[in-house]
Chain A
Amino acid sequence: MPKVILIALAELKFILRNKAALIAALLFVLMNIFSANVAWNNYNQAQNEIKSYQNFANEDFANQPNRHPHRMVHYGHFAFRSQNPLAAFDRGVDQFVGNMIYLEGHRQNGANFSDALQSVNLLRIGDFTPAFMLQLFLPLLLVFIAYSCVSREREGATLPIILSQNIKPAQIYWGKLLALFAVALVLALPSIVFIAIITKSQISTALILILAIFAYCLIWCGLIVLVSLNSKTNNMALSYLLGLWVIGVIMLPRLGSEISGFLVPNFSRVQMDLETHAELRKMGDSHNPNDPYFNNFKASVLKKYNVKTVEELPVNYKGLLAVEGEKMTSQLFDKYNQKMFNAHETQNGIYSALGLIDPFISFQKLSNSMSGTDYKSYQSFIEQAEKYRYNMVQHLNGLQANALSYKDDTNKLLENRISNENWLKYPKFEYVAQDFKERFSRALQSLILLLLWSIGIIWLGLSQSKKLGGANV
């Protein structure tokens, strides 16, 4: 049997005979299974509710009676976002952002852009999901199980005996790493199986996630062996490793969030509302007969149709005004939303770059992206909902312009309703989740960083392992 395997088996035997480690590992596996079960049930419940509410909203909108189209603009609609099944694995930012938007004319509703959305500030104790268990607790458990994997040999003086059996330090390193990696994979197995089950046809997504889990486990295993082989005593190894866990898993992500927030200040909802309304006031008021913008608009419409008064127009001028007003406000809202998206994207870029020094961040970002629960996935929902809202409102404004005459529309004694067929046949909102390519393009940087970390930590461990054997290397 190869000596590396012998050393790995001996290390596994040590771990298996350590009752405390066994109980902790068993508890972790049980908690992992439990978390997967809870997350899957929550996901299914949420999906059923989303589906049911979307159907209800669709029917409610379609079943409105004959109405004036502008009343339908204000009656509004709802857009719901169905989630990727992997949201049960990693809820990402979904736990802080909504999955529903109320769509109405003249405004983009603010519930979707609350301060809670401040992208990278989303790192806090989150849902009890398999990803949460893997990202935070798996490294901690590995530290407790294996902090002494090499320092124990040094402290217990078995190291020179092993070396005197013609064993090379590199063989000790590989044996310890192999054993610990095997333990890590067993601990991660429930999550891996869970991913394989819930992704079904998303094989590529599952493979990338599983590859990232392998890399993350390897990085932590490599780090533990590296620290252990450089520590004179077991206590020192444990202290260093706990310190690294706190820095890597708690402090750096928090610090990264603060740094990105400091470098690129968040664009808050309140600030956006104030600035948008101030700019809207400057742009023009369609209800003001002396407003220069809308006077120019009116002149251009009359010129286009070659008439002198709005009453002579072949279309309803009030409808045209609604179309123009919606176009203006939407452009303004789009401008501010884009500003906010850009700020969040820059913040996320800064945060992701910290993955260079903290693999936890890379693993977290990759997991979020591949699970479709990162900020970009949410942004995609916002953009799709806004596109739907704008088209729906402009469709209704178009109906007002073409299906009702200006004369009737300005007669307050008339009801001016149009047939409910118009909303009955209007297409329903269907959220289209981002495909693999889009999600993978965002996860690629993190994946590369994780792989580089894996290679780097093994290279460092191997070179440091020479210290174990004095001149005998």
Chain B
Amino acid sequence: MLELKQIIAGYGQNIVLNGLSLKVEAGEVFALLGGNGAGKSTTIKLILKQIKPQSGKATFDNIGIESANAYIAYIPENVALYGHLSAVENIEYFMALRGEKPTQDSIRKALFTAGLPSEFIGQRVSGFSKGMRQKTAIALSILQNAKLLLLDEPTSGLDPKAIEDFHNIIETMCKNGAAILMVTHDLLGASKIADKIGFLYKGKIEKTIDRKNGGLNLDELYAAYNEIGAVNA
């Protein structure tokens, strides 16, 4: 379980996260919604240790986030891969950096699970579409046995079929016990796959809607979004 408690963090004097608290349980998708500047990307950076909190506590499965690297996988909005390498080589490299050496079979299997067509597996990723890059990154997170998956605007720019594929993969990963934190502007997408939606405004979650408590109605979500002023933030 990812737990952020009363986090205050930012860039120098500029405080972006102002008392942020949230929990993402194993097997749960938490969608963090908010307007520009609300602190969505900063939250991701905090978990990735690219910024340090001034106060508050960030833990994963009760250990400090700074020691939880091995459990975390990150998939940015524009999945960055090495264009001169194939999907398999990219995965081999990133896994090697973690000190792991998966077999070719396991890499191919993960790519297949992530939905990358087999004819692209050995090709250089410089020619990959955004969706194919995302699938490669998901395959990487599968191989990493990531217990926490961080997704930054995952469906932005994807075609409907790719979005559907993505939702299916996320569902599978959730069933396998991964905790998923997704930051997004996509209300519709969030309403389909998220278990909880947190509305972030000025570095703090102003409202959380839980699917268990009456489901996620799109109108209700949009109303909540407007209510906290996130749309115009």
Chain A residues in contact with chain B, CB under 8 A?
1, 3, 6-7, 10, 13-14, 17-18, 156-158, 160-167, 469-472
Contact = CB atoms under 8 A, between A and B. Distances in A.
Nearest to A5: B96
A163 B50 contact: yes
B48 interface: yes
A166 B73 CA distance: 11
* Chain B interface main SS type: loop
Interface string B51-86: 110000000000000000110111010101111110
23 contacts: A3-B97, A6-B96, A10-B93, A13-B84, A13-B85, A14-B82, A156-B80, A158-B80, A161-B74, A161-B76, A162-B94, A163-B48, A163-B50, A164-B48, A164-B73, A164-B74, A165-B98, A167-B97, A469-B50, A471-B49, A472-B48, A472-B49, A472-B50
A163 B51 CA distance: 12
Contact of B97 (A156, A160, A165, A472): A165
Interface of B: 45, 48-52, 69-70, 72-74, 76, 78, 80-85, 93-94, 96-99
Contact of B82 (A6, A158, A470): A158
Nearest to A157: B80
A10 to B, nearest CB: 6
A157 B93 contact: no
Contacts of B69: 164-166
A158 B97 contact: no
B40 to A, nearest CB: 15
A166 B98 contact: yes
Given A160-B74, A164-B72, A166-B69, A14 B52 contact: no
A6 B89 CA distance: 12
Contact of A160 (B48, B83, B99): B48
Contacts of B73: 164
B162 to A, nearest CB: 19
B208 to A, nearest CB: 26
Q: Shortest 9 CB-CB distances between A and B: which pairs?
A: A471-B52, A157-B80, A165-B97, A470-B50, A472-B49, A166-B69, A158-B80, A17-B84, A165-B98
B93 A6 contact: yes
Nearest to B140: A161
B93 to A, nearest CB: 6
A217 B3 CA distance: 49
A330 to B, nearest CB: 70
Contact of B51 (A158, A161, A471): A471
Contacts of A13: 84-85
Nearest to B82: A158
A369 B232 CA distance: 70
A167 B48 CA distance: 12
Which of A7, A18, A470 is packed against the most chain B CB atoms within 10 Å? Answer: A470
Contacts of B70: 166
Given A10-B82, A160-B74, A471 B50 contact: yes
B77 to A, nearest CB: 9
The residue in A7, A162, A165 that gathers the most chain B C-beta atoms within 10 A of its C-beta is A165
A141 B127 CA distance: 28
B84 A161 contact: no
A1 B50 contact: no
Nearest to B94: A165
Contacts of B85: 13
B198 to A, nearest CB: 22
Contacts of B45: 470
A14 B72 CA distance: 27
A150 to B, nearest CB: 14
A160 B45 CA distance: 9
* Residue with the greatest number of chain A CB neighbours at <10 A, chosen from B52, B69, B70, B82: B82
B174 to A, nearest CB: 21
A163 B69 CA distance: 10
Nearest to A175: B97
Given A17-B84, A157-B80, 14 more contacts: A3-B97, A6-B97, A156-B82, A160-B50, A160-B74, A161-B94, A164-B69, A165-B69, A166-B97, A166-B98, A470-B50, A471-B49, A471-B50, A472-B49
Nearest to B78: A157
